[in-house]
Structure formats: C-alpha cells, structure tokens
Structure 1
Amino acid sequence: MQFADRAPEHIRTAMSTAIQEADGSEVLFIGSVDAQKQLCEVRVAARGNASQVPAPPAHTGAGDVVIHNHPSGTLIPSPADLRVAAELGEMGIGFYIINNAADMVYVVVEPLPPAAIERLDIDDLTALIDHDGRLGSIKPGFEPRESQIAMLRATADGFNEDQIKVIEAGTGVGKSFAYLIPAIAWAARNDERVVISTATINLQQQLIEKDIPTVQRLLGTKLKTVLVKGRSNYLCSHRLDEQITEKKTLFESPPEDLQAVADWAVRTKTGDKTELPFLPDPGLWAAVCADPDACSGRRCRSGEPCFIVKARREAASAQILVANHHLLFADLAMRTKGFGFETTVILPPFKRLILDEAHNIEKSATSYFSESFNRYNLQKYLRMLYRSQRGKQFGSLLELEAYGTLNPAVVPALIQAVQQAADNLDASVRYILGERFTLRIIPDPEHGVPAEIREGLYQPLLLLRRAIARLTDVLAQAIRDLPEEYAEEPGVLDVRLLVRRLEGIAEICSTIAADEHRPELVFWLERRSTSRQEVYIQYSITPLNIASMMQEAVFEPLSTVICTSATLTIRNSFSYIDSRIGLGDITDDRVGHHSLPSPFAYHERVLLGIPTDAPEPNRQEDYQQFLRDFVPRALLASKGSGLVLFTSYRLLAEIHSRVKPQLEAAGIAVLRQGEDHRSRLLERFNRDTSSVLFATQSFWEGVDSPGDSLRLVIMTRLPFPVPDDPIHQARCDAITAAGGSAFMHLSVPEAIMRFKQGFGRLMRTTTDHGAVIVTDARLLTKRYGSHFLSSLPETLRITAPSQQVLERTELFLDESTRP
C-alpha cells in the first residue's frame, strides 16, 4: 500500500528524515490517527540497529499506531512483529511497517478507535441519595446528607471532565457511597476499569462486603469486583513442592505444619492464605508463598496456571478493583520504570483511580519510590541460588549447572564471599551507629563525608558490590554460553531473575558509596531487629520529594483521580497536602478542591478538655508525674470506655504499668498495644464497653469504636514527627535552605494531620458522644497551638485546671447518657 494513503507528505518526510539520521537502522514511531485513519501526528520513540528496535514504549493507548521500518525494504512481518502486533491489537493499538523511504506501508493491525464516552447524569445519581431516593428503601434508616450529595456531584464531575478532585469529607459524610455511586455508574456505562485504593484492610473489607454490593443493587449493575492482594498472600505450588522435597531429602517426612499446608493446597481453589484453617508460622509461609523474588513470572515449571496467575486473571476481567496504597504504588512505580500504563503489571491497566484515606498518600508513595536492602534480603537471594544442608545441595543454580556451562566448584565460594562482605558491612555500620537507631548520610559537596563514614560505610559497601559483581559476572556468562534452546527454561529464568536482584543491590551500594551530593535523594541507615532480636542494618535511598513522581505516575497519565479523606486540610486550606503530593505545581483548572463538613453535632455531643496545669512535655519528670495522676482519674471518671494515645511507646509502657493496678481494682480491663494482635485488641476493646486501651503510632487512625465502647479519648502529647527521622530531617533541611520555616511548613502540618486523626476516633456515628482531652500545654502556650485547635470541628470546650476538666468531663458524660 502507498503510505500516502495513510499519511500526509510532511509526516512521511519527517519519518524518512528520522530514518536517515539513524543511518538507515530501524526506528520506532508512535502515531495518532484521525477519524479517517489518517496519521495526524508522529513522534520518534526508539532507535535500533539494522535488524531490530526496542519494544514499543508505554505511553500508547487505543487509537494510537506503532510504526517501524524494515531497512531491507521487505515489509512482510516477522514472527516477532506478529507477536508484538497481537499484543498491541488487544489494547486497540495499530501496528504498521514501512520502508526506509517512508513511501510504502504494510498495515498489520488497524487501530481501534476509542469508544465514545457516555457522561454521567449527575442529577439522576444525586436523586438516588436525596429525599425519597432509592437508597432510603434499600438501607432502612438512611437520611440524606448535604455533604454526601455535594461529594457525589464533585466525584461525578471528576469522571465527566477528566479531573483531579481533592475532597475532604468529615466523619459521617458517607464518602464511600458518594464516590462508589459515580464510579460504578461510570464503569458500567463506559466499560472502563476503576481502581479504588485504601490504606487499611478494614476499609477494603467494608467496601467489598457491604458498600459495593449495596451500590450495585442501588444502580441495578452486576459489575465484577475483585479485591487485589499482593503476591505474598498466595501459595506457590512450586515452592511448596521444593520445600517438601528438601525436607524429605533431609528427614524421613516433612514437618507437620508443612504437611498441613500441602494437604490444604490440594483442596484450595485460590491459594489465598486467608482460607487456611490455621495461622501458619511466618517463616514457613515465607518459604512457600508466591514471593516476587522467587518467580520470574514466565514458564512456570508447574505446567498449570498458578494461584497468583489465576488471581491476576480474575483482576484483569474485573471492572472494579479494590487494592491498598502499598500495592497501588508498587504497581505505579514499575509502570514509571518502563512497563507503561497500557499493560498489566501488578494491576491490569486503568485510567480512573479513587484514593481513599488519601492523607497517607505521601507515606505510601515514598516507600515504593525508595530503594533499600539488608543482609537478610541478600541472604534470601543467595539461598535461592544455592544452599547446602547435611551434605545435600539445593537451589536454582543446580539446574543451570546441569546444562554444563557453569563450574559447580566456583559459585559456592563466590556466594560465601558475598555473605562475608555483607556481614562485615553490618558489623562496621553497627559500630558507627552506636546507640542510634537511624543515621542520615550527608555527602558534603566540598569536603565529602567524615573519615568514619568513608572507612566504615563506603569502603565495606564497595567491597560488597565487588563481591556481588564477581558472582553475577560468572552467572551471566554461564547464561550467555547456554545453547539457545535452553535460554527460556524455568531454571534459567529463575537464575536470571536472581542475578537482576543481586545487581540491584550492587547498584544501591554504588550509589550510596559514590559520595556525590544528590540533593534530590536521602541516603540513610536504620538499625532493625528480627523476631529473634538479631540486629541488622537497612540501607536506603529515598526521594526527597515525591511531587514530581506523583505527577508522572498518577496525575498526568490517569484521566480521573479522586483523593479523599476526613483529614486533608490545615486551617481550612489544602495547600499543605497539595504541596506534598505534587498538586501544587499543576496550574491548570484540572484540579478541584472540596471541603465538606461532617453532619455530626460536634458542638453538642463532644467536649474538648485542655488542662491548664499540665506541664509541657519537655519538663519530662513533671510531665510524666502529671500523667500518672491524671490519666487514671480521667478513666475512672469515664468508667472506662477510653482510648489513651501516646507518641512514645516507652512513655506508654511506663504510664500503663503505673495505672493498670488502680484501674483493674475498679473493674476496668486495661489493654495495651503490643500484648496481642491489633485486630484482636480492637475486638476485645469494642466488646467490653468498660475497657480502656493504651496505644501509640498506628492507633491514632483506623480505630472504629462506635457507641459506648469509646467515650473518652486522651491525647497525651501533640503528635509531632520524630525529629531524628532521616527523611523528615532531609525535608526540613530543604525547606530551611529555600528560606522557609521547616517547623511551621512541615512539622506542624504533619502533626495537625495526625492530631485530627486522633480526634476523629471519638465520633463514629450520629448518636456517639464523649470527650477528648489533650494533656499538652503547648496547645495554649505556643503560637502554633491555635493552628491545631482551628483545624478541629466546633465543640464544647473547657480550658481549666485539671480538676475542673475532670469534673466537667464526668458531668458531661453522665448527662449524655440520660434520655
């Protein structure tokens, strides 16, 4: 076919020129076509050699065309061309082959024009949850809420107009229904997948088990919905077989718990750990789960679709996916590293995203855009390669040795050298850390780092990198020497994967030890302990700011993004969250902000108490003595039903041990974070309405205890971030260097967000009531205290000596229980 039938002269000339500039080698183009299938835009995406060009890049979509030239002038597609064309065709992407002169074309696959979008009728959707709406007949007792209607309208507008919406919806707004109704309606009408990401398992379960089925019934839809979980939640049949074979080789029979998993594996259809009739030992499950480090994802040796493949197929056929932030950002991080947005990575491709509990976005994204390793990661990879026990040998390396390209006597010594280098590195860094748990490494642009860091960290890191390189060079050469027919064998693919993992660790070593001033990165070390109290070091590289990454991974490629939470504003402003997640730099009108108040009557049903005689926390002895006296008196006044939130586990343990006997003597059960699993603790706390729970860290959010199980929240201290956290330090330094106040622009906003979360534990339903007491005098004595208070809803308030606060609290709680 004449290329002139598909492309105007200026485009043909530009493509011919690009091919000439590549010395006639293969060039890959991405083109856009109009309604008449005429190319209207073309750009160069990759350049290759005389026989091949890199695979098409990611940012193509339905209606686009991938075009490359055949320098030979023969336009018949090769087997590789047909394979790529088939993959692209499934996504609606066309595939053309042209000659170097760009005057002839072979159309392998026609592009599929995008389907016409059907906009949502916002008035029809809001009528469902308004007065006399259908939701009232499905949910008895449902009452329309203005904020919920406003949120639904904003969300639907975000879908219709391809916008980013940032929505603060106070507790009780009913935000899940407000975003689910337009999301499910959109997916049903336009056959587009919608991903809903949350920070907590509890909310995921609520969405899957309750809210989504109710909305489907409301809309009359039957869209397939899947809860997407990480790989480690699923059994790997191959790894299970390996473990059983290894144990039988070493012993007469496998251990009882391993055999129990094997018996379950025969019955299960999903391989999902939650279906196990018992809780497996963490070490056992880690050895048999679908660990991404142990699976190349290609040509599984089991010969049948594995559980993780089945789960991914289920997700690929679903229109509504529910995931968590960690899984979402793991997926997005891989997409930005070259996998693209039109293929399945961890999640199938999607263009519409709802981020619930969005106040956690920065934390989750920072984690997955970071790189880190420790010696246990390294040892895991080495053991997967090769391990010897009781004179028996195991590991992927044995399969590679069987092909005859690897000297079996060489590798064990190289592995031992890597292990020794890792142990030496940890020992050296433990000495540098001393009693510290974390340390930020700051290369000086003029003078570098201190000699202690250069000799105790950089040199051991480089020795480890060299030891890894010697091992991976030998393995890579053995793979290159393989006959072509063995290159895709499962054992070879496993070794390839482990080589890449090891090379990734070596790259981290090189980057940290380069002693370069990299203002965009944070280099830091952290001392950690295993469950057996074995100390090891985590070596990490973290981006200083995730704003640009969020733009690249979320806001630019996705059509609709809804960010929602009960806590997104500071003093009624979204500027802080915008600056942290990259929305502050988006200047067009694509971003919309909505602050929707809670329908709860805080001004009648919540008392905020601030004791004026509470010492400031920096007066440590006086402050602790105040808590020893005040906390039990407050919990006795409330007759239990209390949540006491700390910012320090050490202080929590000290106060808990002092007040527990007094409270138990009064018949109040005293629970403490760490003495049982979080979910079981909360279940006991909610079941026993006179119990009290002492907690810190994660319990400032995600605790849902409606009714009389929680009537008093005590926040012992304003939840400022830990000052010696390396990432927080680096971000503070960057703000200071730019002339800002790190304390006011970062530390205070972070603390206010967490403070609002702690406050939000009290009121969970319209009939809840109770008191929140804050025993931190800085709310009254420091200028920033007013920022905290003005970020809360309007409540009843008492600011007085502690005795008066206790008396008023007891009276308020007693009055609230009367009919």
Structure 2
Amino acid sequence: MPILPPLPALVAGHGRAVILGTDGVVAPLKLGTVARQLGQDAALVVHGPVTLKRLGNPSIHLLDLLELFAFVCPAQTLAPTPAGLARALEMDVPQSLDSAALALSEMAEALLTRLAAGKDTPANRDAPGLAARMGEFGWGWAPYVLAALGQPHARPDGMAMRLGKRLPKWEEVAPRPPPSSFPVTSAQARARLATLLGPGAEQRPAQADFASAATEAFAPRLIEGSPHVVIAEAGTGTGKTLGYLAPASLWAEQNKGAVWVSTYTRHLQRQIEQEASRLPGALKVVLRKGRENYLCLLNFEDASGVERYATPLGLIARWAMASADGDLFGGDLPGWFAELFGGGLLAQIADRRGECIHAACPHFSTCVIERVVRDARQADLVIANHALVMAQAVWGGLDDDYVPTRYVFDEGHHIFDAADSAFSVELSGAAMAELRRWLLGAEGTRSRARGLARRLEDLAATDDTTKKHVEAALKAARALPAPMFSTRLDPELEPDNNPAEALLRALREQLRARAKENELNGAVGFEGDLHPLNPDILPAAQTLSRALAELRAPLEALREHMLDRLETDPELEESVRQRLEGIARGLKRRGMDPLAAWMRILDGLGNEPAPGQRPARIEFLRLDREAGTDRDIALLSHMLDPTEAFIQSIAIPAHGLLITSATLRDGSDNETAWENAKARTGAVHLATPAIRAAFESPFDYADRTRIVLISDVNTQDIGQLAGAYQALFQAAGGGGLGLFTAISRLKAVQARIAPKLEEAGIPLYAQHVDAMDNATLVDIFRAEEHSCLLGTDAMRDGVDIPGNALRLVVFERTPWPRPDILHRTRRTHLSHGAPKDYDDAIVRLRLRQAFGRLIRRADDRGVFVLLDKQVPSRLFSAFPEHAPIIRSGLAEAITGIRRFLTQQE
C-alpha cells in the first residue's frame, strides 16, 4: 500500500485557518505567517486557489488533492471541499477545519491506493510515462503517483499526449431518410410514461395529463407554415421532463426521426440526459452543444508544447480518454478544473469559432467534435440548448444544414432572452478585431491563431483563384481594428487611416459627451442613446461601410469558388468535399454574415427615428470600461420583439413545437395570463393559435412553505442587511440561498457575515467572491447540507436542489428590472397596459423562479423571505395561491422560521 511521508496540510475557512504539521499536531494559522510556518515544504490542500485566496495569497508550495483526484478518477467529479472528497472516497466526513486537516493525508493515501489497485488496467497503460512527463515539468504528485503505479523510475513518455493517435476513429454512415409523420395518441403517451416511471412510482395525475397534452405537438402538420404549437405551463413537481420525453420518444421511435429538446441552462441539459437514460435502449440519445464547447485535438497538440501547461494538459489527456463526449464546459470535466488552472487554457484547447480546417486536420478522423456531430445526425433524441438552436436558425442549419421538424423547448420562459441574444447585432471594436484575427492570424502577438491564409495554404498553393481571393480579403481586412485598438480610442491621439477605429473614436466621443458625471467617473461602463448623431459619425460610418463591402466581396467570391468546385467536380474525394463544404460554411457564418449585419447598421444610421416612434430595432451605444479605463465602444442593435424572429426562423419551418416551463403565465385573470405567455414565447405571432395547457403543482404549499416579508430592516444600510442575513441563516441552521440584485451588495454582506457563520458551523460560499464557478458552488451547496450560498440571477434560475440542503431563500430586495435603454423602449412599446404592468410581470416571473428553487419534491419544507418592506401587494400573485404570506419584523421572523423548519409549528 503506497504511504505518503508526513506532509503538512492546510485548511482555510473565513477568518480562521489551521495547519497540520509534520508532527501530526493541528494548530491555528495566522494570516501572514503561512510561508514561515511551512518553509520549503509542500502542503496538502483541497482546491488550492480558494485556499490561497482565503490565506491572503501567500507564496507557498501546494499539493492539491483535486489534481490527484483528476488523475486517478478522470471524467468524474465531486464537490471540491474536504467534505466532498471524503464523500467521494466513502470516508467519514470531517465536521471541522481541524478534522479536515487531519483527514487530508488519509484521503491522499486512499486515492493512491485506488490507483495502485488499477495499475494494470488498460486505462492506466500510459499513466507512468504521462506522470513522469508531468513530473519533469514540476508536478508535485508525480513521485507518489509513480510509486503507486509500481514504476518509480519511469521515463517521460509523450505518447499519452498524442490523443489523435489514441482516441477511437469515427466512421461515416449514410444520412437518415426523412421521418414519417404518424401521430402519437394520448393513450400511447400515457402508456409510455407508465413504463418509464415503473410500477412502484409515485402517481402524478397531472404528469400523465401533461404527457397527453404534449402529443398535440407531434401531430402531422396540415398546412404549410402552420406548425402545431403547444404552450404548457407545468408547475414545479409536475414531472414535465418525463412527461414530454414519453411522447417525444414514441414519435422518434415510430417515425424514425429526431426530436430536439432545448433548454436554457447546461445544468438542465445534463438533468434531461439522466432522465432519458430510462428510455428504451434502442433509442439513441445525444447531448449536443456548439462546437466551441468541445476539445479540439489540433489546438490541444499546439498547446502541449508549452511547458507551463504540462500539468493541466496531462490531466486533460487522462480525461479525454475517459470522457463520454469531449465536452470541456459543463460535461464530465469537473467544473473546478478551470478554477485550478484558469479558464483561458480551456478556451485555447476548445474549437475556436470558424477556425476548424476540417478534413485537412491530421486528427479529423478522431475528432471528438465531428463524432458528436455525426452522432447527433443519427440520434432519435438530441438534447440541445436555446443558444445552439437559435444559432442554427441564424445560420440556416447545423453543420450539415440539417433543420429539425420537432422541438421541445423546456425553460420556455427564457425564449425571449435567448432570442434577444441570438438575433441581436454588436458592432464593436472587439467584434471587428476578432474578425481581423480570424482572417489575418496572430499578427506578431503570442497567440497561435491561424489566419485564413494558413488554413487554406494547401489549397492556395495549387489554385490561383483561391490564392487571389485570399490575398484580396487579407488586404481589405486591415480596415478592421488593429491589435491593441483600445489604446487608440482617444480622439486626441494622432488619427490614422483605419476606418473602423475612426468610427469607434467618433462614437466614444458622442457617448462621453452625453454621459452623466457619475458615469464618467465610475469604474464600470455605461450606455447611451445613439440618436441624434454627432455630425462626424455619419461620414465615418459611410467610410467604414464601404471598407466592409470591399472585404465582403473577396470572401463571397472565395465561397462561390468553393461551392463551384463542389458542383463541377463530381470526382472529389469525400474528405476534400467535406473540407470545401466546411470552408464555404465558415466563410459565410464567420465572415460574410457579420459583415452584412454591420453594413446594414451603418447604412441605416441616417434614418433617424422620430421621438416616441415604435422602432423595429433598438439601437444604442455602450462603453466598456475596466478599472475606470475605456476599453471598447459598441453600437448595439436589438429587435424590439425578438420572438418574431424565433417564430419566423424556427417555429414556422417546423412541424411541431412544445414550449413548457413552470413559469409561463402572468396576469390578473386567466385570459390575460395566457396573452402574456403567448407574448413571452412568441406564440402571439403564429398564424394558427397555439394549443394552451396548464397543470398545477402537486405540492401542498399551505403546509410545506411560508413566505415572510420583513418589515423592519433598512436594506440600504449594509450593516442591517448583513445582520438580517446572518440571523436568518442561523435560524435555519444553514441550507440558505441568499439572492442579490447587485454584486457590490453581495460582496459587502459576505465580508461581514462569513467568519461569524463559520464560527456557528455554517460554511458560507458566494458567487463573485470564492474562486469557483457557479456550477461548483451549487455542487458544494447541494452536498453540504448546513452550508449557505450567496448569488445573483444565475443562482435564481435553473438551480435544482431538492431536500434539506435548500430550506431557506432570502431575497434582499424586490428584483425590479434594470432601467436600461432596452428595457425603457420595450416597456413603452410591448406593454399591453400601463408600462408598470410590463415591469410587474418581469418581477413576478423572477419571484416565481426564486420561490421555485425552494420546494422540489413533496417532502421538502422551506421558507421564502423578502427583505423589502415596500413590496407592493400586486406582486403577491407570483406565489402559489395557498402559500401563507406573513408580514413581520425580523425578530419575530427568526423565531417563526426556526419553529417552522424544526416542525414545531
């Protein structure tokens, strides 16, 4: 059994840290003394970046057990704390900092023992050479890992890094024929649902009714351009995932076609994938994301030559051989990996938008992205996300120009926001500079970006037409902002002949001239109206538009040349054909389409709208700042109602859509509520009315919940606000989710209450404070039942934490919408009544989403607290009808919460 030598261990909390010395004694640790107490020793820790941050970022040597876990257990994850690691290793969970420090060495030995037990398995065939290579470049765990593998003197071997040689090859298969159109009956859907649930499952009548209603989305289309659209609100606990998977899987099975299920959050994608594991084994289910989420073997190969990346890329090599799909973001690579080594590395080794060279890549036949694309083409159920589905609508199809005919949009209340993002246009220095980088490459920087000439050099070498068009495009691309353009935004600098930078300077000058004093002196960016234009903007825009047209022309000619070769040369090898198709697709999506959109904006600047006129698009300016320094200026163009584009580009070409969520309706009466649901989802723009269905939550909110409105806390006083959070979290004994509308207030509260809560045995984690991403924070919060979590919007939506781990939700104030230019224009022109009705609907949706985090199953019990004594009663309809609403002072609320959660009430 591999034994570690005596090693010190560090565990840091908020305001307190401990060190286990090599003598086995645990002692308190004071900030500023860590380096002196450790000397040259390397200390065992769990999550080095978090530990260092809590210790004041001392310069010390660490042995992070998460790195060892990633090597020993690739493509597995855990909550990255000592308690989370103990659970993963089935050990006693430490209950204090002292016990955690004592346990770290035992955890390390358990991991090394597990590695030793599997040293002769195929998965560890290349492990000794890889560990030796990582050790050669400074990985502290290498000698212990090599000893556990029984090869302490193994020589470094780069074979394990050659993923293109080690991963299995994919094979081409014939395209699927178009699906048939047989309907799914209500009885069939109910029967399939019963099969999926199994004989001993809890009976949910609303779930079966939901499955029955969903079948209407799978009926044969009767009229061209008139899809069957079902909008269904299914309250929390209805079981809507299996409710729609039942008819969707039946339709896919009997029609030999694919149903695309789309979500807003990555978390729900994975959750649906887990639920889909109950489907019949013959059905193929594939989770699909945009290409930029997946490992690119060519970029990995390029990065593997960088010495400082030896450790993280060695761990990536281990992960890639065990990964289900090569998804770097939200897949089976732990979310804390990027926290340990920096998210920039993952972005470097992922597919960069539009840079793939397809069949010209030496790793094409083992490419994980191409494998996922081909798997999705043959799938019966594709679990995608709104961003990808909207993007394919913008592009007119996926990688093979495939457009689905049947969709399920879960988290349907986010369709408006997803469409707003997909169908908006940003003309900014960063966006234009990124296109320049895509065309010209690194331009002398340390980046390894390949320009267009390098990506097509083999084709240009034997084809003068390709060479001519590439050269013309590269010459014209110099009209786009050059590297470090942000240092040249000041108009007082000597102007150059770059038309893009000239427009950026003119836009910046107008925005700053019309800004408020506090905006100009602030550390963050701000927005401003575009119209009326300063006199020098229109000439600069016209000059840039002409320059962009000169760039678009050779790109279009190059694309036409690629398509012409495909059409006129039937003897092209399949790999060459795929290459040409990929080039043509990339030129359009990455170059021609954005150029055309920017030119439309620039050419339309002279059409100044009249005051109060209803616009088709909302155009405004945004200044991006960093630490009080101007970094970029953006001209933004959004559709007034982006769901129009969603209906035109996705719904109308389809045959059927189901749009569902727990929060679709809002209104004082049933008809108003449905009108608002139709407006939010775009169903109002359908030629044929959508089918409507609603299913109430089965939970007993009257018995299982309380809604408390605190009337005596001044939330403008950070001291009072922090004191309220601390008292409420302690009353609940942890399990509290604190939601904030401003990051600055979250940070201020966290700094005041974290040490005090930790003394009370309640660990506090916080978004924007801890060196962890949102998914990691939620994983820890879910696993540690007595912890608390502070967060903003991302924690309000899509977080599923059933059970006692979440028993209290505290909202610091009524979540009114941010009064920006987009909201100002939409509340004026999209509200069906008074503008305040538009605001109220947004607030009620946010409150419903926040409240919905609390009760996820029938035996959950929880309290929702709103620290706003001025919340108007017209917002109370956001909450379930029978949930008790109590107005009280803080002291009374604390007593009531403690009694309710301990079931003394």
TM-score (norm 2): 0.65
Q: 1:693 aligns with which of 750, 769, 789?
A: 789
Q: Who is 1:770 aligned against?
A: 862
Q: Who is 2:897 aligned against?
A: 809
Aligned-pair distance for 1:181? 0.9
1:309 maps to 2:370: yes
Q: Secondary structure at the match of 2:279?
A: helix
User: C-alpha distance in 2, partners of 1:332/1:409?
Assistant: 31
Aligned-pair distance for 1:288? 4.4
Aligned-pair distance for 1:810? 2.0
Change (3 A) 1:297 1:505: farther
User: C-alpha distance in 2, partners of 1:529/1:669?
Assistant: 34
Q: What letter corresponds to residue 393 of structure 2 in structure 1? A: L
Q: Secondary structure at the match of 1:764?
A: coil
Q: What letter corresponds to residue 177 of structure 1 in structure 2? A: L
Q: 1:734 aligns with which of 807, 816, 829?
A: 829
Change (3 A) 1:236 1:358: same
Change (3 A) 1:261 1:700: closer
| Equivalences for residues 22-101 of structure 1 within 5 A | none
1:185 maps to 2:185: no
Is the Cα–Cα contact under 8 Å of residues 547 and 581 in structure 1 kept in the other structure?
yes
Change (3 A) 1:265 1:534: farther
Q: How many aligned residue pairs are there? A: 664
User: C-alpha distance in 1, partners of 2:798/2:255?
Assistant: 34
Q: Who is 1:638 aligned against?
A: 732
Is the Cα–Cα contact under 8 Å of residues 419 and 642 in structure 2 kept in the other structure?
yes
Q: Who is 1:604 aligned against?
A: 703
Q: What letter corresponds to residue 370 of structure 2 in structure 1? A: V
Q: Secondary structure at the match of 2:845?
A: helix
Q: Secondary structure at the match of 2:684?
A: coil
Aligned-pair distance for 1:722? 0.5
User: C-alpha distance in 1, partners of 2:558/2:798?
Assistant: 51
Aligned-pair distance for 1:195? 0.9
What are the superposed Cα offsets for residues 198-257 of structure 1, whole Å, 9 maximum, x if unpaired? 112222112212x112133xxxx621111111111234445556x47xx98xx9x89647
Q: Who is 1:202 aligned against?
A: 267
Q: 1:212 aligns with which of 253, 257, 276?
A: 276
1:418 maps to 2:461: no
User: C-alpha distance in 1, partners of 2:603/2:637?
Assistant: 9
Q: 2:758 aligns with which of 664, 685, 692?
A: 664
Is the Cα–Cα contact under 8 Å of residues 315 and 348 in structure 1 kept in the other structure?
no
1:795 maps to 2:890: no
Q: Secondary structure at the match of 2:683?
A: coil
Q: Who is 1:358 aligned against?
A: 412
Q: Who is 1:649 aligned against?
A: 743
Is the Cα–Cα contact under 8 Å of residues 412 and 681 in structure 2 kept in the other structure?
no
1:395 maps to 2:451: yes
Q: Who is 2:230 aligned against?
A: 165
What are the superposed Cα offsets for residues 687-712 of structure 1, whole Å, 9 maximum, x if unpaired? 22222111111111122222221221
User: C-alpha distance in 1, partners of 2:257/2:290?
Assistant: 23
User: C-alpha distance in 1, partners of 2:903/2:469?
Assistant: 82
Is the Cα–Cα contact under 8 Å of residues 464 and 509 in structure 1 kept in the other structure?
no
Is the Cα–Cα contact under 8 Å of residues 440 and 523 in structure 1 kept in the other structure?
no
Is the Cα–Cα contact under 8 Å of residues 643 and 710 in structure 1 kept in the other structure?
yes
What are the superposed Cα offsets for residues 682-735 of structure 1, whole Å, 9 maximum, x if unpaired? 1221222222111111111122222221221111212121011x3212212324
Q: Who is 1:595 aligned against?
A: 694
What are the superposed Cα offsets for residues 762-792 of structure 1, whole Å, 9 maximum, x if unpaired? 111111102111112233xx3xx32433643
Aligned-pair distance for 1:548? 2.6
Structure 2, unaligned stretches of length 5 or more? 1-173, 222-227, 483-497, 570-575
User: C-alpha distance in 2, partners of 1:812/1:734?
Assistant: 45
Is the Cα–Cα contact under 8 Å of residues 176 and 377 in structure 2 kept in the other structure?
no
1:126 maps to 2:219: no
User: C-alpha distance in 1, partners of 2:452/2:367?
Assistant: 19
Change (3 A) 1:301 1:375: farther
User: C-alpha distance in 2, partners of 1:795/1:262?
Assistant: 48
Q: Secondary structure at the match of 1:365?
A: helix
User: C-alpha distance in 1, partners of 2:762/2:313?
Assistant: 44
Q: Secondary structure at the match of 1:708?
A: coil
Q: Which moves more between the two structures, 553-562 or 181-190?
A: 553-562
Change (3 A) 1:371 1:346: farther
Aligned-pair distance for 1:309? 3.0
1:228 maps to 2:288: yes
Change (3 A) 1:501 1:661: same
Is the Cα–Cα contact under 8 Å of residues 261 and 407 in structure 2 kept in the other structure?
yes
Is the Cα–Cα contact under 8 Å of residues 152 and 181 in structure 1 kept in the other structure?
yes
Aligned-pair distance for 1:90? 7.9
What are the superposed Cα offsets for residues 74-131 of structure 1, whole Å, 9 maximum, x if unpaired? xxxxxxxxxxxxxx99867xxxxxxxxxxxxxxxxxxxxx84x4443423542565xx
Is the Cα–Cα contact under 8 Å of residues 704 and 862 in structure 2 kept in the other structure?
yes
Q: What letter corresponds to residue 811 of structure 1 in structure 2? A: R
Aligned-pair distance for 1:272? 4.0
Q: 2:843 aligns with which of 748, 751, 766?
A: 751
Is the Cα–Cα contact under 8 Å of residues 330 and 368 in structure 1 kept in the other structure?
yes
Q: What letter corresponds to residue 650 of structure 1 in structure 2? A: S
Q: 1:541 aligns with which of 614, 637, 640?
A: 637
Q: Who is 2:353 aligned against?
A: 292
Aligned-pair distance for 1:749? 0.6
What are the superposed Cα offsets for residues 372-418 of structure 1, whole Å, 9 maximum, x if unpaired? 24333333332333344399996333638756665999987765553
User: C-alpha distance in 1, partners of 2:468/2:738?
Assistant: 61
C-alpha RMSD of the superposition: 4.1
What are the superposed Cα offsets for residues 544-591 of structure 1, whole Å, 9 maximum, x if unpaired? 112432332233222221111111121452221212332234464x52
User: C-alpha distance in 1, partners of 2:806/2:308?
Assistant: 48
Q: Who is 2:852 aligned against?
A: 760
Q: Which moves more between the two structures, 535-544 or 483-492?
A: 483-492
Q: Who is 2:424 aligned against?
A: 370
Percent identity over paired residues: 24
Q: Secondary structure at the match of 2:354?
A: helix
Q: Who is 2:72 aligned against?
A: none
TM-score (norm 1): 0.71
Q: What letter corresponds to residue 227 of structure 1 in structure 2? A: L
Change (3 A) 1:259 1:494: farther
| Equivalences for residues 205-284 of structure 1 within 5 A | 205-209=270-274, 211-216=275-280, 222-237=282-297, 243=302, 256=310, 260=314, 271-273=326-328, 274=331, 279=338, 282-284=343-345
User: C-alpha distance in 1, partners of 2:189/2:563?
Assistant: 62
Q: Secondary structure at the match of 1:215?
A: coil
Q: What letter corresponds to residue 527 of structure 2 in structure 1? A: L
Is the Cα–Cα contact under 8 Å of residues 721 and 749 in structure 2 kept in the other structure?
yes
Change (3 A) 1:548 1:501: closer
Q: Secondary structure at the match of 1:608?
A: strand
User: C-alpha distance in 2, partners of 1:644/1:470?
Assistant: 53
Q: 1:574 aligns with which of 674, 697, 706?
A: 674
